[in-house]
């Protein structure tokens, strides 16, 4: 099954206690796509870069089988850049700079061939743009979205409209509390279900993830890592592994398939944080993913 | 199988966003014993109270089948009192006062009939006293201990000596990091294994618990609660449910039994926080425990 992703493509400058990278490949759509590419689905990519975007990154995405017909390379434009660090706390980034560049004028326009994609992921972009995407999508089977604190702060009405139209919201714990003004995460999750999504998946970083529907509750611990090299992109990698597996089963309503998908999301995210940027994914194999997935299953079995 | 517990008995004054109780039944040995009493084991209790300790509390412990031959009621003494609140953060108590009273001079002396108890739990008391208990214990099958930040601060050499002599340390996440000076919890757990225990169980409050040995790793999320009424005693209730089940299986080396025991500890702790003091346990049934245990199993199954 095909998956459509609309989101950011970035060149990230990131500093962690383990070192620093400058202008490395990043962005929500990028992390998502590469994660999803380890599962048997076609990824249709919508995003924008400038003409400074290195060809090697295009080649890498193509080598992962990502369909880049929807990637707009804007002449004379500069690629979105983000700079941040995780020095004191590996769980939350300190932003040093944000240069929106071409991403500041980004208006997603789906190639006609993309409009019937059954699985849709609205990565973390302005909810106004997420709504633009939803207008262009036809006959989707499952729409999943992400968001962030910034949009909860400055664009809540559009975000609430997006939520009315999506099936699943994937969100981190702090943002779930912020969105609902609830300090208890279970209450926050239940509140979100009243906004529109039939399921909310709450990411808790090193503490794993929760999934809530009206009738089901699932909790999965994170894969235990003795060191986190660079957490950038963990959330998008989780979403990519989740959607990648779910689309490959083509059973978006199945609680069992969803739980497995959360397991795969957890595993792919755990590999992502083992190196800067998408470096770990460059030599990652599906065998390693399956192996760690089995370990994860055994770790929670009782 | 019998379980020996040595720890505090207290009259707690606790304030939470849900209200306040004054001089309510508390203490690490108390919470532990009542939790363990829901499993088919005899609990042998060593602690001290003053003659102000209400008879109704004695009667309650007896009604739970707890053997109080080791409870020293000191004439003219006052029972240990603790006062605290959880106003801003239900995960950490603010201590308002500590009146050690008879607990300040407590020296555990085991009745001779207690000395051969196969399962021993050293609740959170001064590690010097934990060592005193270990000197008096004969032929134990499993020794488990707890500790707290205070002893890591002021009595670390004795604590390290205790750790050399116990099989399992149950500790919360913040204390595990403090004890090892490791910010990563997995590294902290592995470090603790080098101190003596063959297993460490790390409690993470609303995020569940981890268990590490040289060869096994187990992670269990907490039972999801939309509201926590009063978290006092959750850790000791966890330990009580854990030891209660483990002693009833009499397979302290079995990874399977340990995992189930962590599940039961999680369940009993989740009931404990539903009301002040031990109030929820007064009408709790083993049927409710089994029901929630099954729910917990289903919540993590994938």
Looking at residue A89, its pLDDT comes to 77
For B221, the closest of A219, A263, A301 (CB atoms) is A219
Q: What is the pTM for the complete model shown?
A: 0.95
Chain B stretch 172-201, residues whose beta carbon is closer than 8 A to a beta carbon of chain A: 184-187, 190
Search chain B and give the residue with CA nearest A299.
B218
Query: Looking at beta carbons, which pairs linking B279-286 to residues 24 or more positions away fall under 8 Å?
Result: B281/B34, B281/B35, B281/B38, B282/B60, B284/B38, B286/B38
Q: Which residue has the tokens 């208006």?
A: A107
Q: Do B208 and A228 touch (CB under 8 A)?
A: no
Domains and CATH numbers, chain B: 2-300 (3.40.1190.20)
Search chain A and give the residue with CA nearest B228.
A184
Using a CB–CB cutoff of 8 Å, tell me whether B215 touches chain A.
no
SS (H, E, C) chain A: CEEEEECCCEEEEEEECCEEEEEEEECHHHHHHHHHCCCCCEEEEEEEEECCCCHHHHHHHHHCCEEEEEEEEECCCCCCEEEEECCCCCCCCEEEEEECHHHHHCCCCCCHHHCCCCEEEECCCCHHHHHHHHHHCCCCCEEEECCCHHHHHHCHHHHHHHHHHCCEEEEEHHHHHHHHCCCCHHHHHHHHHCCCCCEEEEECHHHCEEEECCCCEEEECCCCCCCCCCCCCHHHHHHHHHHHHHHHHCCCCCHHHHHHHHHHHHHHHHHHCCCCCCHHHHCCCHHHHHHHHHHHHHHHCC
Contact A281, A34 (CB under 8 A): yes
Mutation pick from B207, B231, B297, B298 vs chain A, by most beta carbons of A within 10 Å, is: B207
Q: 10-residue block means of pLDDT along chain B (302 residues)?
A: 97 94 97 98 96 97 97 96 88 89 93 96 97 96 96 97 98 97 96 98 96 97 93 97 98 97 98 97 98 97 94
Q: Do B300 and A299 touch (CB under 8 A)?
A: no
Residues of B in Cβ contact (< 8 Å) with A18:
none
For B227, the closest of A184, A221, A300 (CB atoms) is A184
Residues of A in Cβ contact (< 8 Å) with B210:
221, 224
Q: How far is CA B163 from CA A52, B143, B144, B147, B240, in A?
A: 58, 10, 9, 10, 19
Looking at residue B92, its pLDDT comes to 77
Q: Is A87 a residue whose pLDDT tops 90?
A: no
Using a CB–CB cutoff of 8 Å, tell me whether B221 touches chain A.
yes
Residues of B in Cβ contact (< 8 Å) with A184:
225-228
Q: Do B219 and A297 touch (CB under 8 A)?
A: no
Q: How far apart are CA B227 and CA B90, in angstroms?
A: 10
Q: Do A225 and B186 touch (CB under 8 A)?
A: yes
Residues of B in Cβ contact (< 8 Å) with A255:
none
| DSSP letter, residue B194 | T
Over the stretch A236-295, which tens digit does the pLDDT of each residue have? 999 999 999 999 999 999 999 999 999 999 999 999 999 999 999 999 999 999 999 999
Rounded to a whole number of angstroms, the distance from the CA of A249 to the nearest CA of chain B is 15
Rounded to a whole number of angstroms, the distance from the CA of A213 to the nearest CA of chain B is 12
Q: How far apart are CA B35 and CA B242, in angstroms?
A: 9
The closest of B186, B21, B205, B278 to A228, measured between CA atoms, is B186
Q: Is A214 a residue whose pLDDT tops 90?
A: yes
Over the stretch A23-66, which tens digit does the pLDDT of each residue have? 999 999 999 999 999 999 899 999 999 999 999 999 999 999 99
Residues of B in Cβ contact (< 8 Å) with A259:
301-302
The closest of B87, B110, B95 to A183, measured between CA atoms, is B87
Of chain A, the percentage scoring pLDDT greater than 70 comes to: 100
Q: Do A206 and B226 touch (CB under 8 A)?
A: no
Using a CB–CB cutoff of 8 Å, tell me whether B219 touches chain A.
yes
**Average pLDDT, integer, range A119-124:** 97
User: How many CB pairs below 8 A link A and B?
Assistant: 79
Q: Do A187 and B260 touch (CB under 8 A)?
A: no
Reported ipTM: the value is: 0.91
Using a CB–CB cutoff of 8 Å, tell me whether A47 touches chain B.
no
Q: Do A187 and B220 touch (CB under 8 A)?
A: no
For A220, the closest of B184, B228, B300 (CB atoms) is B300
Question: Residue B34 is encoded by which pair of tokens?
Answer: 């009542």
Residues of A in Cβ contact (< 8 Å) with B219:
208, 221-222, 224, 299-300
Specify the pairing of strand B10-16 against strand B81-85.
parallel
Using a CB–CB cutoff of 8 Å, tell me whether B56 touches chain A.
no
Rounded to a whole number of angstroms, the distance from the CA of A300 to the nearest CA of chain B is 6
Residues of B in Cβ contact (< 8 Å) with A228:
184
Over the stretch A105-115, which tens digit does the pLDDT of each residue have? 999 999 999 99
Looking at residue B112, its pLDDT comes to 95
Residues of A in Cβ contact (< 8 Å) with B263:
302
**Average pLDDT, integer, range A82-91:** 86
**Average pLDDT, integer, range A86-97:** 84
Looking at residue A41, its pLDDT comes to 87
Using a CB–CB cutoff of 8 Å, tell me whether A97 touches chain B.
no
Mutation pick from A212, A229, A302 vs chain B, by most beta carbons of B within 10 Å, is: A302
């Amino acid at each position: 099954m095909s998956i459509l992703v609309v989101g950011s493509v970035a060149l990230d400058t990131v500093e962690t206690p383990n070192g620093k990278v400058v202008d490395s490949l990043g962005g929500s759509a990028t992390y998502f796509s590469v994660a999803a590419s380890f599962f048997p689905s076609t990824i249709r990519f919508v995003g924008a870069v400038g003409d400074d975007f290195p060809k090697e990154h295009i080649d890498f995405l193509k080598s992962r089988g990502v369909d880049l017909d929807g990637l707009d390379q804007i002449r004379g434009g500069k690629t979105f850049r983000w700079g941040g660090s995780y020095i004191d706390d590996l769980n939350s980034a300190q932003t040093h700079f944000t240069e929106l560049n071409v991403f500041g004028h980004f208006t997603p326009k789906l190639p006609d061939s993309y409009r019937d994609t059954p699985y849709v992921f609205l990565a973390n972009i302005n909810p106004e743009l997420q709504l633009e995407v939803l207008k262009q999508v036809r006959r989707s089977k499952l729409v999943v979205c992400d968001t962030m604190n910034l949009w909860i702060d400055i664009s809540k009405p559009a975000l609430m409209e997006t939520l009315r139209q999506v099936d699943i919201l994937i969100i981190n714990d702090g943002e779930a509390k912020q969105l609902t003004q609830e300090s208890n995460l279970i209450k926050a999750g239940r509140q979100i279900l009243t906004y529109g999504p039939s399921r909310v998946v709450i990411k808790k970083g090193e503490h794993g993830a929760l999934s809530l529907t009206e009738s089901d509750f699932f909790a999965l611990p994170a894969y235990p890592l003795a060191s986190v090299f660079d957490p950038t992109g963990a959330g998008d990698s989780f979403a990519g592994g989740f959607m990648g597996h779910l689309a490959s089963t083509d059973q978006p309503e199945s609680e069992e398939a969803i739980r497995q998908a959360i397991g795969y999301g957890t595993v792919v995210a755990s590999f992502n944080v083992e190196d800067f940027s998408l470096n770990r994914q460059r030599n990652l194999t599906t065998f390693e993913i399956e192996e760690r997935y089995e370990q994860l299953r055994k770790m929670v079995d009782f």
